[in-house]
């Protein structure tokens, strides 16, 4: 399959591009590619058809004046709140958090997941869908992946296992990176695997291998 090139990365890490583009990060061709970008996704998870009912119900209550990016930011803040609460009680990822913290974290994660799913629906409903909005959404998702990874650190108490922490980071955040790499090269966002699959892989390694010697 031919590589789908958006040109967004060309020269992005090269400081000379600032001089060539009169101080602009993106040149005219890259801005044009961004403007012409169309979101496309393929594949579904097992629970998608059930969650779609919930997501469509929630977005139906969203007023037309509510900006999609506002929904994205609120979801991110919920995710950060849940993680920061856990880290307050488990700063070294070796302590045991109170049970209510896990309930609070689960609620925050569910709210984040819901809002992350409906921000695009709200954008299309209000006619505010744009490539920049998608970029903003995925930027917030990248921050959320850090939050979810730290949740896993606390859940499995990996503070005394630095090797496990490195592996969990690579699996969880690597899966997120590879999904977007696939989107860049194929032009479609592949939704076959999600963070739940990454978490299951981490559980497998945690329960079957000893990482205490990697200190």
Could you give the residue numbers annotated as active site?
Answer: 138
Burial zone of 59 (CB within 10 Å; 0-12 exposed, 13-18 middle, 19+ buried):
buried
Query: How many Å apart are CA 212 and CA 215, to the nearest integer?
Result: 7
Query: How many Å apart are CA 159 and CA 163, to the nearest integer?
Result: 10
Query: How many Å apart are CA 18 and CA 35, to the nearest integer?
Result: 20
Query: How many Å apart are CA 69 and CA 62, to the nearest integer?
Result: 13
Contact status, residue 111 vs residue 104, Cβ threshold 8 Å: no
Q: Specify the DSSP element, H or E, that contains 117.
A: helix 99-126
Question: Which of helix, strand or coil describes residue 6?
Answer: coil
Residue 42 phi, psi (nearest 5): -145, 155
């Amino acid at each position: 399959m031919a590589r789908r090139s958006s040109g967004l990365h060309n020269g992005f890490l090269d400081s000379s591009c600032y001089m060539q583009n009169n101080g602009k990060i993106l040149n005219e061709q890259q801005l044009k590619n961004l403007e012409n970008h169309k979101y496309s996704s393929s594949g579904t998870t097992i629970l998608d058809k059930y969650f779609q009912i919930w997501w469509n119900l929630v977005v139906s209550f969203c007023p037309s004046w509510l900006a999609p990016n506002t929904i994205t930011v609120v979801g991110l803040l919920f995710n950060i709140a849940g993680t920061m609460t856990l880290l307050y009680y488990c700063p070294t990822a070796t302590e045991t958090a109170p049970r209510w913290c896990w309930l609070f974290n689960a609620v925050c994660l569910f709210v984040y997941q819901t809002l992350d799913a409906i921000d695009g629906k709200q954008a299309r409903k209000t006619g505010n869908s744009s490539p920049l909005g998608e970029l903003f959404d995925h930027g917030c998702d990248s921050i959320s992946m850090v939050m979810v990874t730290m949740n896993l650190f606390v859940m499995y108490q990996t503070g005394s296992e630095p090797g496990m922490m490195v592996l969990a980071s690579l699996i969880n955040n690597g899966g997120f990176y590879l999904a977007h790499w696939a989107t860049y090269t194929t032009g479609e966002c592949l939704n076959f695997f999600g963070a739940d699959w990454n978490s299951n892989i981490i559980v497998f390694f945690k329960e079957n291998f000893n990482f205490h010697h990697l200190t």
